[in-house]
């Protein structure tokens, strides 16, 4: 109950924020939850997005974990993002679980068949974080089944590096991510992967505004999982998921996405459902220039 | 160990920024193959209407509703430069962007939509 209320509250809060905001632009990003493509935020734009994961680990209660993302286009080749994480577990508690700060940089200024992006992240979270924004090392559902009272005492100061490779071929986007993560205490490097492909249901735009036309929907799938760590570079006790995706570009620059994920190994959650709601605010940087007497 | 990891992260960030600063200069010349491409939707009023909606969704925030830019960094799209470019040039530029100067790549739009946008840009010259 706790968990359902939390999920409803987070979606309602995101809806309120998006309805309150006056203007809009359409986000161009794909409906991936774990995989990153080489699409960066447009310079000066701010995207607010919530990504909620709903699951129930064996031996634990139902939970809902939300990451609220504030993504800003610093340059056309550089995007920065702040994440604020929280979760609620049934028969347990609701709590804030920490923050992450990341930057994505495109080192090559031209579009190529395969476009690399470098991803650098610092995260300061507690062991109670259940957002599953990536799966690395030997992450498993047993980590998610522990009581919040115990896991919240465990502090994680982690650095994460990703190599994102992404291609736009015809109307398809195909992306591959190689993930390495290191707890900044004496812990091994952990590795993981995420791959995904998406395509709009129709490639041509309609000549009149519409909400339910096929080009507003993007469908695809992603797969992600852990690849062990430097102490145990093996697939034993690693989690792997495959997840169909659907994204819907709503009016007023909002985007809704949904993905049911299916665990493929004994360590994986049996199912994890993800819901995302995004809203893009165009040219936020212009607001500050206007307030300073500059040109908007 | 912490110091070494932070050092490695700083080095990776510096290398990326340096690479971004020196890689590929501003592209002045469109490859001949792209320059010669023709717009399959040229002159199609329906494509121009669809292109107007794409413009509203993706371009208007920078280039303004009248496509005259902001008089500063965001250039006007009703200009001799656009008039003299071929449809192939425009589609190529939309696909590539000019990341160093703030123009995003629109390779994420399907090619048909980029041609629709080119048709719209032609219709407002």
The CATH number that applies at residue A109 is 2.40.160.40
Tell which wins on pLDDT, B12 or A269.
Answer: A269
- Candidates A106, A189, A204, A287: best to mutate against B (most CBs of B within 10 A) is A204
Q: Which residues pair with A133 in a beta bridge?
A: none
The pLDDT of A6-16, averaged and rounded, is 52
CB contact under 8 A, A105 and B49: no
Nearest CA-CA distance, residue A76 and chain B, Å: 5
The closest of A79, A77, A89, A126 to A7, measured between CA atoms, is A89
Stretch among A2-16, A18-32, A101-115 having the lowest mean pLDDT: A2-16
Stretch among A14-23, A192-201, B22-31 having the lowest mean pLDDT: A14-23
- Candidates A186, A205, A213: best to mutate against B (most CBs of B within 10 A) is A205
User: What was the pLDDT predicted at A287?
Assistant: 75
- Asked, for residue B101, whether it belongs to a domain, the answer is yes
The closest of B72, B94, B70, B71 to B82, measured between CA atoms, is B94
Q: For residue B99, what is the nearest residue in chain A, using CA coordinates? A: A76
Cα A176 from Cα A174, distance rounded (Å): 7
User: What was the pLDDT predicted at A294?
Assistant: 45
In this complex, the residue of A44, A77, A203 whose CB is nearest that of residue B20 is A77
Q: Is the predicted pLDDT of residue A1 greater than 60, yes or no?
A: no
Q: Is the predicted pLDDT of residue A27 greater than 60, yes or no?
A: no
- Asked, for residue A11, whether it belongs to a domain, the answer is yes
> Is residue A164 a contact partner of residue A37, using CB atoms and an 8 Å limit?
yes
Q: What share of chain A is helix, strand, coil (3-state, %, to 5)?
A: 15, 50, 35
The closest of A129, A108, A130, A126 to A118, measured between CA atoms, is A108
The pLDDT of A97-117, averaged and rounded, is 96
In this complex, the residue of A110, A203, A295 whose CB is nearest that of residue B112 is A203
Q: Is the predicted pLDDT of residue A78 greater than 50, yes or no?
A: yes
Q: For residue A40, what is the nearest residue in chain B, using CA coordinates? A: B104
- Asked, for residue B19, whether it belongs to a domain, the answer is no
Give the count of beta carbons closer than 10 Å to the beta carbon of residue B15: 12
Q: For residue A189, what is the nearest residue in chain B, using CA coordinates? A: B5
Provide the residue range defining the domain that includes B80: 26-123
Q: Is the predicted pLDDT of residue A2 greater than 80, yes or no?
A: no
- Asked, for residue B9, whether it belongs to a domain, the answer is no
- Residue B69 makes CB contacts below 8 A (sequence gap 6+) with B62, B63, B75, B76, B77
Angle at A268 between CA A262 and CA A273, to 5 degrees: 40
- Asked, for residue A120, whether it belongs to a domain, the answer is yes
Q: Domains in chain B: how many in total?
A: 1
The pLDDT of A183-207, averaged and rounded, is 95
- Asked, for residue A209, whether it belongs to a domain, the answer is yes
- Asked, for residue A182, whether it belongs to a domain, the answer is yes
User: What was the pLDDT predicted at A162?
Assistant: 98
> Is residue B115 a contact partner of residue B91, using CB atoms and an 8 Å limit?
yes
Percent of residues, chain A, with pLDDT higher than 90: 82
The closest of A150, A133, A129, A2 to A62, measured between CA atoms, is A2
Q: Is the predicted pLDDT of residue A135 greater than 90, yes or no?
A: yes
User: What was the pLDDT predicted at A164?
Assistant: 98
Whichever domain contains B92, its CATH number is 1.10.760.10
- Asked, for residue A296, whether it belongs to a domain, the answer is no
> Is residue A248 a contact partner of residue A221, using CB atoms and an 8 Å limit?
no
- Asked, for residue B58, whether it belongs to a domain, the answer is yes
Residues of A within 8 A of B6 (CB-CB) are 159, 184
Place of tokens 């577990």: A89
User: What was the pLDDT predicted at B65?
Assistant: 93
- Asked, for residue A36, whether it belongs to a domain, the answer is yes
User: What was the pLDDT predicted at A28?
Assistant: 56
Angle at A127 between CA A122 and CA A129, to 5 degrees: 75
Q: Domains in chain A: how many in total?
A: 1
Residues of A within 8 A of B93 (CB-CB) are none
Q: What is the mean pLDDT of chain A?
A: 90
Residues of B within 8 A of A120 (CB-CB) are 9, 12-13
Provide the residue range defining the domain that includes A260: 2-291
- Give the three-state DSSP class for A289: helix
Task: Tally C-beta pairs within 8 A across A and B.
Answer: 121
- Candidates B3, B6, B9: best to mutate against A (most CBs of A within 10 A) is B9
- Asked, for residue B14, whether it belongs to a domain, the answer is no
Q: Which residues pair with A162 in a beta bridge?
A: A119, A179
Cα A16 from Cα B125, distance rounded (Å): 40
Place of tokens 């690395």: A136
Residues of A within 8 A of B101 (CB-CB) are 76
CB contact under 8 A, B110 and A185: no
Cα A224 from Cα A51, distance rounded (Å): 16
- Give the three-state DSSP class for A174: strand
- The parts of chain B modelled with pLDDT lower than 70 are 1-28
Q: Which tens digit of pLDDT belongs to each residue from A33-66? A: 999 999 999 999 999 999 999 999 999 999 999 9
Stretch among A18-22, A263-267, B96-100 having the lowest mean pLDDT: A18-22
């Amino acid at each position: 109950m706790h968990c359902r209320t939390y999920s409803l509250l987070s979606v309602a809060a995101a809806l309120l924020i998006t309805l309150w905001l006056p203007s809009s632009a359409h986000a161009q990003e794909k409906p991936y939850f774990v995989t990153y493509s080489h699409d960066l935020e447009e310079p000066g734009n701010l995207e607010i997005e919530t990504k909620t994961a709903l699951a129930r680990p064996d031996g634990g209660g139902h939970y809902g974990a939300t990451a609220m993302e504030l993504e800003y286009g610093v340059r056309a080749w550089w995007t920065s993002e702040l994440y604020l994480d929280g979760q609620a577990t049934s028969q347990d508690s609701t709590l804030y679980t920490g923050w992450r700060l990341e930057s994505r940089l495109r080192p090559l200024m031209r579009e190529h068949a395969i476009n690399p992006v470098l991803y650098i992240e610092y995260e300061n979270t507690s062991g109670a974080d259940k957002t599953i924004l990536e799966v690395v090392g030997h992450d498993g559902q047993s980590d998610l089944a522990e009581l919040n009272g115990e896991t919240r005492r465990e502090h994680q100061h982690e650095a994460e590096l990703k190599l994102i490779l992404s291609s736009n071929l015809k109307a398809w986007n195909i992306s591959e991510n190689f993930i390495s993560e290191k707890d900044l205490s004496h812990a091994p490097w952990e590795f993981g992967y995420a791959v995904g492909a998406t395509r709009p249901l129709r490639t041509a735009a309609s000549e009149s505004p519409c909400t339910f036309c096929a080009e507003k929907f993007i469908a695809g799938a992603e797969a992600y999982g852990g690849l062990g760590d430097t102490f145990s570079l093996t697939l034993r006790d690693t989690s792997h998921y495959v997840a169909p995706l659907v994204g819907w570009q709503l009016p007023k620059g909002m985007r809704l996405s949904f993905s049911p994920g299916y665990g493929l190994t004994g360590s994986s959650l049996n199912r994890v459902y993800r819901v995302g709601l995004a809203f893009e605010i165009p040219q936020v940087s212009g607001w500050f220039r206007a307030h300073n007497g500059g040109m908007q | 160990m912490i110091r070494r990891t932070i050092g490695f992260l700083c080095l990776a960030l510096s290398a990326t920024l340096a690479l971004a600063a020196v890689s590929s200069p501003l592209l002045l010349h469109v490859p001949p193959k792209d320059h010669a491409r023709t717009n399959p939707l040229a002159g199609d009023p329906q494509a121009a209407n669809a292109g107007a909606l794409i413009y509203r969704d993706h371009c208007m925030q920078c280039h303004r509703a009248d496509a005259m830019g902001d008089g500063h960094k965001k250039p006007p799209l009703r200009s001799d430069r656009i008039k003299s470019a071929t449809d192939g040039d425009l589609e190529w530029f939309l696909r590539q962007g000019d990341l160093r100067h703030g123009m995003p790549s629109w390779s994420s739009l399907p090619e048909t939509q980029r041609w629709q946008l080119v048709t719209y840009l032609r219709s407002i010259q």
